[in-house]
Each structure stands twice: as C-alpha cells, then as structure tokens.
Structure 1
Amino acid sequence: MKNAQRSDLWPLKSRLLGLTCHSMYLPMYYIFYVSLFSFLSISVHARLPSKIYGVNLGSWLVLESWMLPAEWIRMGGQQCSDCSQCIATEFAFARAYPDTVDGIFNMHWSSWFNEDDVHDLMEVGINTVRIPLGYWIVEALVDRKTEFYPRGGIHQLKRGLRQLKDSGIIAILDHHALPGVQTPNQMFTGRCTSDVEFYTDYNYRRALVWTAVMTALSHLDPDFGSVVAIEAVNEPIMNATQTPGYGDFQKNFVQVVRAVELTLGIDVPWSGTKIAPTDTTNFTVALEESLPNFTPEVQSALLEAVPILVEVITELALDSMTRFSPHSSREPLYTSFMDINWQYDNPPNPSDAQIGPQIYDNHLYYSFGGVADPNEQAYLESICNLQRVQADAALGNSPLVFGEWGLSTQFNATDEFLYKWADAQKLAYTKGAGWIFWNFKVEISTLAGDLARQWSYLEGVKLGFLTRDPSKLNDTNVCDGYIQ
C-alpha cells in the first residue's frame, strides 16, 4: 500500500461525482450519496459476554467440502487428495457450473444453517458464533472475468444474523477467505491454489472496502444487531517474511472500522483522546469531516465503498423510516486479529493497530502435528501447561479468544480420553476470554465416517464429551497430575 492516493482532499462531492460520471444513473446515485445515512438508524446493541462459549459456523457461507462429503458430491462437486486438482472448492465449483451455481448454493446455505440449528445451539448454552465469510459476499468486489463464486450469500447472512439476534447469540464476522487468497492450498480460502496474492496493494484495498461495507451494515441493518466484532484475516501465512505490508494493513483495517463509526456518530478513542461526533445527519458531510484523520489508503477505501454500500443497502431493502442520529451512546465494534504469536520471523504486533476495543484470536489443533507427541500423556501435559494466554498478554494481545479448536487427534482416541481432552482444552482456553469450537456440526453420513465424533460440537454434546452447560466440566480435576 505504498503507492497511495494523495492525502490532500478534493471536495468530497467532486470525488463522488467522479465515481459515477460515466453512468446514466448518476442522479439516482448522487441522491443516495447525499441522503443514504440520513434515513437509517444505528442498531448495534449486543455486547461481548464476560466469557465466550462459542462455535464456528463453518461450511455455511464459506464451504469446505471435507466437512460434508456426501452433500458435496450430490451438489456436483468432487473429492481428491489435492484440492487444487478437482472441483473441491467454491471457486472451482462456480467455474464449472456458472449457470446453476447460485441456485445450488442457495439451497446449501438454507439447509446447512437455519432456525433449527439456532435452536440447537441455544439448547446447549452457546452464546457466541464466529461466522466465516468470503470477500465475495460483497459481490461488487469480485472480478467476474477471473474470479468465480456463488452470488446471493449476503441475503443468507442477513437471515442468519436475524435468527441469531432473536435468540440472543452474538456474532463475530470473520473475514475467512480474502481477495487474492491469503494462505496456499487451503479449502478455507475458497480456492485451493499455491498462487497467494492477498499481500498486495490491490487486494489489501479490496479487503479494506469489504471492511467498510461490513462495518456499516453491522451498525445500520437491524438484522446485524448481533454483530459485536469483525476479524480482519483468518490464518495468514505464518512466516511473516512472506506477508509484506501486513502490519500496515492491520492499522488501516482498524482505521476503516473507526472512520465509518465516527461518521455515524459513534464515539471512539483516537490518539489518546476522543473525536467528537459530527453534528450533521448528512453522511457525505460527516465523512468529509472525518476523512482527514485517516491515512490515504483508508480515505481511498472509504470512497470506493460508498457506491458499493449503496448497492448493497438497496438490494437488502433496508428500512428507511428512522433518521440517523449523529449523537450515540452505542459502543464501537471490536476489531479482531490473529495474535502476534500466530506468525514468526519478526511479525507485526496487531496491538500496535488498536484504536478502541480489540480482541485477539489463536487457533490450536493438535491433529496436524507440531504441538505434542501423538499420545494421550503428551497431549494432556501440553494442554494443561499451556502458556499462550500469558505469552500473548505480555505482548499486549489481550483479551485472547481461542477462535478454533476441536477434539481431533493424531491417534485413535478412546471415548475415555475424549472426555479428558474436551475438559482439559476448555479449562486451558477459559483462562483467556473464552473459546469457539470448530465446528458447530459436520455431516453425519457413511461417506463422512467418524468425522462428527471429534469435529462436531453438537455431536460431542450428544456423546457426552462436551458438557451440555459449556461453562462446566465433566472433571474439574482433569489436569491434576499433568501440571509441571
């Protein structure tokens, strides 16, 4: 993001006009720019719980075919040992089936997570969900000549968030699959490829535009009232030498969130003080007042986001009966990052980007190796002596949430061990701000085999490994004899 636009501001209206000067729809867009936020209410009411007991809604709006193999085959997908060599991801599916992908995925979105699932989560005491999202949910960001993804997911997100809000479950919007792909050869990026291009000026900017749109929706759409946080990037490359510019992106991500909030009249701390919210109800005037506080990259992203946000708000048919008030007692969203210890080789510290409330995320899976020897004794010794919360706090990365974990192992785990394994992990992770299990469910089928036993939270509760009250343990003394 070195080659930024000039920092001196043209008149804002001239910039906005320039965005659409070749469009026959200029008058309509201009009216929207002037009045869009004058007729919408801010509606964030949810707060982080004192302790997070959560699940991920994986494979809903970013599908990972390993989690639902039979459904994937029925949809028209394929299975292969190398996910880049067959129809194993959303990108490959949309490229293979351009005429039917939207309808097929709409059926998946409706069935994989719905009101029944919300009820099941309420029944087992879940208070938080982390929702993996792809950048393509903001459809204007997709280059349809070279990028292939299903359309219509924003409507499903709105529906799911409404159901969660009605049930009192809060949501973290997780930017799980970034433009250009942030990690090689992973289904969770939406495209299995070794060609990683996220860490470029172009894709950093697209991610910032996505952030501006999702921040605005989180405050403006009543159905987004359960949203309390936005996570910038899920699992970037661990070697920081391969993620150039990522530290600057972290700072710009936070500034985009706060710039939108300042424009909407939400007080956020800035440089040790508070910037007073604007007195205007006109969004363009408010935006012009707040822009000089932010970097050229942030200014550019905000201006690019405006027409996209207009399109999204029009498509979602948001209620325009109440006026936007520039004075608000509402709290800003939490910004969220993978913690500094996720990367190595001189990584940027995300705490350096903090403006206002911020949380940190760490993921811990023993089943992929590199954590402990593959046996029961080593696993329990490792988890019972875990120091990640303390290590992160020493570097300013607190509060820490363990945003992904599970019961999977590198060996054939007995039921007896899984009782201990669930308890010991919960005990370790609640020393921080809490935990979010991967995943709320996986497919139960012949093709999926024994997958649900260690990867499905709801199945884990049924089997008794996970307690029905997530704040409880089967054995509070599970770590006795393992602490060193």
Structure 2
Amino acid sequence: MAFYSTKPLLSLSFLFFMVSYSYGRVNLSSTFKVKAVNLGGWLVTEGWIKPSLFDGIPNKDFLDGTALQFKSVTVGKYLCAELGGGTIIVANRTAASSWEKFRLWRINETSFNFRVYDKRFVGLDTNGKGIDLVAVSNTAGSSETFEIVRNSDDESRVRIKAPNGFFLQVKTEELVTADYAGGGGWGDDDPSVFVMTIAGRLQGEFQVTNGYGPNKAPQIMREHWATFIVEDDFKFIAENGVNAVRIPVGWWIASDPTPPKPYVGGSLEALDKAFTWAQKYGVKIIIDLHAAPGSQNGLEHSSSRDGSQEWGLTDETIQESVSVIDFLTARYAKSPSLYAVELLNEPLAPGATLDMLNEYYKAGYNAIREHSSTAYVVMSNRIGASNSTELFPVTSGLTRAVIDVHYYNLFSDIFDNMTVQQNINFININRTAQLNQVTTSNGPLTLVGEWVAEWQVRNATTEDYQRFAKAQLEVYERASFGWAYWTLKNVNNHWSLDWMIKNGYIKL
C-alpha cells in the first residue's frame, strides 16, 4: 500500500485559508450576523461617557456652546437679541427662551464671543457711538469679543466686559450700552450686574480640545486614546460573544496628524491600533463617521461647536465628508477586519433634507466601491424622520447596503412612566413592528446600530434589567445585518457593556 504524505495537502489548505483571510474573509456564512459593541467616547469625545476628561480645563463652565441667560438685576428682565438677531440687544423679556440664549464661542479661558439665535454675533454698534449693543455681524472678531467677570462670593452674579474696556449696563429695557466704568458693588442697584443662568452645555470633541488649548490638548487626548480602549478590551470582546465593534470617528481624522484647530492629531494612530487588535482576535470593524463637517445634528457627539447643524448647508461639507469616507476606505480596504463603513451617524431631520442625504449617500457609496467590493455600506436613518423606509429608493440596486436604525427606550416622554413590563412589552410589540417594517426580503439589510439596556424605570432590580436586556437581544437579533450595543465603557454602569457582562446583566 502506497503512503502519501498529507503535508502538501495541509500546506495547500493553509495557503487557501490565509489567502481568504487576507482578502476580507469573503466566504462568510450567509447566516453570519454582527453582534457588536460601540466604542463610543473614544475617538469622538462625549463628556457624559467620561466626565473626568474635562476636569482639568480652566474655567470649564464656559466651554464652546454653553448657553447663557442674563437677567438684569435693576430692571428684573432678561437680555434678548431682538428678532433673534440682526438688530439691537434689549433687556425687556420676563421669561427666557430661544432669543434670550447666548451661546459661547471660547477664544481662551477668559475671552468669548456670544452667538445669538440667528447665528449672528453680539458686538458694539460701530456706526454710532460705539457703545450700543447689537447682534448684526455674521463673523466674530475683536469687536465681538467679551469677558465674563464673576462675583467670587456668588458666581451666578456677573458683569460683562466689552471690547472697548467698559462693562455692559442696562439703562432702560430698550437700551443696553457698554459704557460702565465699574467700581460698584454686586447689589441689585447696580445696572452692570446680571444674574447668569447656564441653560445648556456641550461636551464634545470641539469643547475638550478648545477648552484645554493647543499646548495641553495634545497630551490630554493622546493619553485618553491610549488608555480608554486597549488591546485587552478586544480580547474581552472576543471571549464574550461579541464579534464586531462599531467605531465612531470624526471628520478631522482624515487630516491626521495635523487636523484643523482645535482638533489634535493622534486619533488615526489609535484607529490603526484597533485594526491590529481586531485582526489578532478575529473581531470585525464597522467604521462610523459619527461627526461630519459642520455637524449633521447639532449635538455634542457630532462635535458641534455651539449646537448649530450646518452639515449639508453647503456642498463643501458634503464633498468633504465623501473625502473622509474615501480616505478611510482606501486606508483599511485590505484589512481582513474591515467589515463595513457607515457613511453618517444620526443626521437630524429636517435640517438634513432627504435630497441632500441621498446625494451624499450615493457619492459615499461610490467612494467605498472605488476601494472595496466587499465592505458593507451602512446608511443611517434620520433622527425625527416619520418614514423609516425613506432610504429604500437610494439603496435600490446597491450591493451590500445596510440601513441603520437606533432604538432607545429613552429620550421621549412616552417612556417616563412605563413600568418594567410595559417597557418589555414595548420592545416585543412596538420595536418588533418597527424592525419588521425596515427588514424586507428584497430590500437593504438592517442594523440596530445603537441600543442599550437602560430605561426610565426607577429602583429596577438586577432581574428587571436582565429581562429587559434579554427582550432586546431576542428582538434585535432578527435584524438582518445585526446589532451594536451602546457602548463598551461608560461611567454609567448600564450603558457599559463591559460592566453589564462582568456583572451578569447580559450574557451572549
């Protein structure tokens, strides 16, 4: 009987395996589904995920986008940009709403611009005596730069120093001027004193980098990137039933290592490490453009400077976004870990119109296909859109197209008073129906790209959370592409999949 060595056969098999592995694992089972976790708060900052990241910022109450209201102590009414901007500043409002909010642009820890409702900046009227307060300029310069001086005994009481060196004072409800020399006390008889209320904050990438400034921000951010997500996290993920990560990135990553100010370089290097770790532990990666130029939703997680949503207002922001997608896909197309690229996270309707979104999604899809025929292309539904299938026409005829939906039993008053069982019923009934609507046999694949086992229920038990998480897993695993928990690490325990797994709340 002849003896045939198996070594050549084994070598050929191994070679075939390595070739398949190196070129994207294209022979995945058709039943494969993503069970992912988001690496939120890592390469795109969200202050609520890791508040300590902001602890060292000087004068951190006054970061970019902080919304301030000022009530005159002498007339007892709020400063207001008349008509929302374009004319004078008055002090005649008994209650504060949109026109009475002044959003900060931080120049440094003591100097600021004030942006009003219609996006103009507060400044001095240069056409008159140079002391009347107006909001007419679309750009901010030295004549629109102010200082806020707080009372050391009561920090809610402030004075505002104008660029001419004088303080603002309220002479009448219709006349606010910058001609008070100072020297008075902080009592209710001083026309230069205001009671300040912080009516909103942002803690995103722009705030943290501009807050620390160009000298300190690079060190702070590099330390954060190097310690918040590490190789052991990928090992933990792979050992606990998670097969993919969705990594939020910001548009500035494509300009690394010298991104536009105030952003700092280094996030691309961190993303490179993620791909190395993912390949080592057999984890797939979904790159997610979480923060687009100009902000696609005005929220801190899209790195909005002041809450404005300006992505799509110009063709430049769309083209720049396509360039980012092109850059990222070209860089990682040959990595066996690249599984999908998400073109945009949570664009907000109606500011992000369906027409502009379709234009961008088509261009982004084509950019990805220039470099990869196997990467899935994920397109996020708009926040606030009434039709969950509105992206079906743009995905028609596209290969490996995925629609991303986000499901939270939060952020709406309908969940405020729900019991444990009512929340679970909502998942089983309402979310099932919503997911069925977008999951069709001949349409795009579906991804529940963000969900969390957190709710509005107070004093819920461990078992309550376990049941809630189990219900979501059972429903969301029906999504044809898969799901991704938000997020891996978080100071809020139930938002941290790492904590939830280690403490027995979720088992995959």
Q: TM-score range by the shorter chain?
A: 0.5 to 0.7
2:500 corresponding residue in structure 1: 460
Partner AA of 1:55 in structure 2: V
* C-alpha contact 1:340 1:350 (8 A) present in aligned 2: no
Counterpart residue identity of residue 484, structure 2: I
d(CA) in 1 for partners of 2:381, 2:467: 27
Corresponding residue of 1:356: 399
Are the counterparts in 1 of residues 256 and 268 from structure 2 also a CA contact under 8 Å? no
Q: How does 1:241-320 map to 2 (within 5 A)?
A: 242=353, 244-261=355-372
1:45 paired residue number: 24
Q: Counterpart of 1:214?
A: 328
Give 1:377's match in structure 2, choosing from 395, 398, 421.
421
3-state DSSP class of the match of 2:333?
helix
Deviation of 1:80 (Å)? 8.3
Deviation (angstroms), 1:396: 5.7
Q: 1:234 Cα shift?
A: 0.3
- What are the Cα deviations for residues 37-86 of structure 1, in whole angstroms up to 9, with x where unaligned? xxxxx954245771221100011101111111124314769468996356
Q: Which amino acid counterpart does residue 117 of structure 1 have in structure 2?
A: D
Deviation at 1:92, TM superposition (A): 2.2
Deviation string, structure 1 residues 208-233 (Cα, Å, up to 9, x no partner): 1111111111224xxx4311110011
Structure-to-structure mapping, 1:11-160, within 5 angstroms? 44-46=23-25, 50-74=32-56, 78=60, 84-85=66-67, 88-96=203-211, 97-139=213-255, 144=260, 147-160=261-274
Deviations, residues 138-159 of structure 1 (Å, cap 9, x unaligned): 1179883xx5212121111001
C-alpha distance after superposition, 1:154-187 (max 9, x if no partner): 1110011101111000000000000110002x22
Moved more, 50-59 or 240-249: 240-249
Partner of 1:169: 283
**Structure 1 76/106 Cα, relative in aligned 2: closer, same or farther at 3 Å?**
farther
Q: Which moved more, 1:94-103 or 1:84-93?
A: 84-93
- How far did 1:260 drift? 3.4
Verify: 1:194 aligned to 2:242, yes or no.
no
Counterpart amino acid of residue 406 in structure 2: H
Residue 435 in 1 paired to residue 483 in 2?
Answer: yes
Q: CA separation in 1, counterparts of 2:490 and 2:59?
A: 17
Q: 2 CA distance for matches of 1:241 and 1:181?
A: 10
CA distance in 1, matches of 2:287, 2:60: 29
The C-alpha deviation readout for 1:310-341, integer Å capped at 9, x for no partner, is: xxxxxxxxxxxxxxxxxxxxx52110012479
Larger RCO, structures 1/2 (Cα 8 Å, 6+ apart): 1
Tell me which moved more, 389-398 or 99-108: 389-398
1:327-476 paired onto structure 2 within 5 Å? 331-339=373-381, 343-344=385-386, 348-353=390-395, 355-369=398-412, 372=415, 373-385=417-429, 386-394=432-440, 397-412=443-458, 413-433=460-480, 434-443=482-491, 451-452=492-493, 454-467=494-507, 470=508
Shift of 1:395: 9.4
TM, length-normalised to structure 1: 0.65
TM-score, normalised with respect to structure 2: 0.62
**Relative to 1, partners in 2 of residues 1:465 and 1:347: Cα closer, same or farther, differing over 3 Å?**
closer
| Aligned-partner Cα distance in 2 for 1:359–1:249 | 15
Amino acid at match of 2:379: F
SS at match of 1:66: coil
Pairwise mapping of residues 3-14 of structure 1 onto structure 2 (< 5 A)? none
- Asked whether the 8 Å contact 1:239–1:344 carries over to 2, the reply is no
Structure 1 residues 442 and 74: CA distance shift in structure 2, 3 A: farther
| CA distance in structure 2 between the partners assigned to 1:355 and 1:68 by the alignment | 38
For these two proteins, the number of residue pairs brought into alignment is: 344
Shift of 1:405: 0.5
Q: Evaluate the alpha carbon distance shift between residue 228 and residue 201 of structure 1 in structure 2; reply closer, same or farther with a 3 A threshold.
A: same
Q: Counterparts of 2:423 and 2:207 in 1: how far apart (Å)? A: 37
User: Are the equivalent residues in 2 in contact too, given 1:336–1:359 (CA < 8 A)?
Assistant: yes
Any gaps of 5 or more consecutive residues in structure 1? 1-41, 262-330, 444-450, 471-484
Structure-2 residue corresponding to 1:289: none
Task: Describe the SS at the equivalent of 2:234.
Answer: helix
SS at match of 2:293: coil
Does the 8 A contact of 1:141 with 1:206 survive in 2? no
Gapped regions of structure 2 (runs ≥ 5) = 1-20, 68-200
Call closer, same or farther: CA 1:60–1:143 in 2, change over 3 Å: closer
What letter matches 1:116 in structure 2?
D
Equivalent position SS for 2:297: coil
Alpha-carbon distance in 2 for matches of 1:248, 1:406: 31
Deviations 1:418-451 (A, max 9, x none): 01100000011011132110011113xxxxxxx1
Residues 79 and 357 of structure 1: CA distance in aligned 2, closer, same or farther (over 3 Å): farther
Residue 377 of structure 2 aligns to a residue whose secondary structure is strand
User: Which has the higher mean CA deviation after the structures are superposed, 200-209 or 119-128?
Assistant: 119-128
1:377: Cα distance to partner? Answer: 2.6
Measured against aligned partners, the alpha-carbon deviations of 1:266-289 in whole angstroms (never above 9, x if no partner) come to: xxxxxxxxxxxxxxxxxxxxxxxx
Q: Which has the larger radius of gyration?
A: 2
AA at the equivalent of 1:376:
V
1:152 & 1:392 partners in 2: Cα distance? 38
